[in-house]
Structure 1
Amino acid sequence: MTGYGYFLSCEEHTPKALVAQARMAEQAGFTSLWISDHFHPWTGEQGQSPLVWSVIGAVSQAVSLPVQTAVTCPTMRLNPVVTAQAAATSAVLLEGRFRLGVGSGEALNEHVLGDRWPQAAVRLEMLEEAVQVMRLLFEGGQVSHHGKHYTVENARLYTLPDAPVPIDVSAFGPAATELAARIGDGLVTMAPDADAVERFRRGGGGQKPVLGGVKVCWGPDREEALELAHRLWAVEQLPGELNQVLPTPAHFEQAASLVPRERVAASVTCGNDVDAHVGALRAYAEAGFDRVHVQQIGPDQRGFFDFYRTEVLPQLVQ
């Protein structure tokens, strides 16, 4: 049976607002939390980007829900050794209710230290080695590693949860899906793609969890909700590798200006049609997902949570 969680957007909201949303999500009946990990928002209009690890610490003291990063890039801006320490501490605070979602990253966040932005195949190679390093550290002993991309000397994590932190791998194409199947404890992806789920399971993922995310924009006026979704998240409709290679929010704003409202309307459920919201989430269940996390676009979080608590979730968790 598919579970339903809430997706906290660090691109749109302040740290205190995210903690308040976590509380509202638990009260509304959502059973887990995703939280994004960025250095920059995608666009200046989104307007925020707090350090995710500080927010996770605050959320851990506010709710009893499981939490997962969706997703952290542990290869450039964050070294895998530092990522492992942050994840282990988060798991201790959450008493084991933490999963680390990882991905190969975007230039938007990872180029800020001035490093060269590698090609996709190299980024996946780096991610695989980073996961290897983190798993060694989660075992609790002293780790020294001399690999192609990372060197670790005499590193040990002294604050560890009772069990190693699960690492789920994000994938948006066949090569990344195959990597997730080979090295991940689960798959993270955004589209209700049954073929990708099957590729993951056949490639070695077996019965490991498949976790998804979807954006909606609830509101009493569908046209106003669509306008908000287009203004804040047209970037999600950019084709090809643009989301991975554009370096600044200004570049994303330029590219997003070319995305028509109709494309957002076809991809994002907007307004207050109960059947449309239920259908958007059921698509993930029908594609074989174990859990889907819903992100409400915009500031009207209270209205969204009331709507989902009374109208949507009761139809999905019968």
Structure 2
Amino acid sequence: MPKLRTAVAVAVVISAATAVPSAAEPTLQPPVACNEDALKDAIREANEHGGGEFWLTPGCTYGITTPASENTALPAVISEITIHGQDSTIKRESAEDFRLFLVDSPFGDLTLNNVTVRDGRAENGGGIWVRPASSLTINESKIINNAAGGLGSRPGGGGIDNFSGSVTLRDSMLSGNTSSSQGGGMFQDGTAKVVRSTISGNTAGDTSGGIRNNTGRLTVNDSVISGNTSHGRGGGGIVNANGGTATLNDSKVIDNTATHASSIGGGIGNSGRLFLNRSHVRDNRTNGKGGGIAQRGNDAAATIEDSSVTGNIAAAAPGGIYSEEGPVRLLSTIVSDNQPTNCSGSPDPVPGCSN
């Protein structure tokens, strides 16, 4: 669906009589005024006109004190909207709990460029909630310090909850987010792609400090999953659950932690289909088993190619790769220097892994 370009001052003004500017002479549009009402009006007007594109005031902090709906700061995005942040910030500034954005189905399609979304708090999707059949694209932006209570039917997604929609995170940061249950950074059941981005310093009360790929398809390209923590069953960095497919290409899963004594998978916990290509799982820790990677489940399978699993630590063997069920295939992959063992002590032996 083509976008209607949107002129914005205090509110969005769209005129059907305005001529479409040529590529050589773009129209310079005034930014949305630096206050929450102007931002809410801009989104409403864009929705009313079937979509739009607007710029925020450079460096402005849009502090939201009154939510547009019961659980969401801004009007739901129900059309194709692009927001150019220009180093601006959108944040919750209220004792009341609410997320910042809701991208709602079936036509919601939000693109955020160069903006920080922070301090949201909701039952799920503390920063952004993407509903089924909707889309979110984040470019050169930060989703930070958001929180999910994780008490309802969708237990998590401190930064982002992707409920059967599509999410792309490109050249961005998902950091410092928390969930009382699962997916401190992201909880996702749809399609998610992480490109040249950092998922760091996120925390989950149960599993998947960084990302929980619940039943969806997750692709991570040229990115870093680091410094995330889970305090329950495991998966300090990533959990790929039963029914999920996760593929990591040219990426690093480093320095993540699973703190509970019964946890498995300091770096990655896998119960679905996991593929690692030219990627490195390094210096992760668990107080349970499988400091680097842990796998369990009847439908679980992992293929690790041209990669390495090194320097990971577990309280109980093995420290590198723990496999309880399902095949683990190592192709041109190094598993070394893990403590107390690399793969020895795994209930299911890992072919090609020594010690």
Do both proteins adopt the same fold according to a TM-score greater than 0.5, normalized to the shorter chain?
Answer: no
TM-score scaled by length of structure 2: 0.22
TM-score scaled by length of structure 1: 0.24
Which one has the bigger strand percentage? 2
Which one has the bigger helix percentage? 1
Greater gyration radius: 2
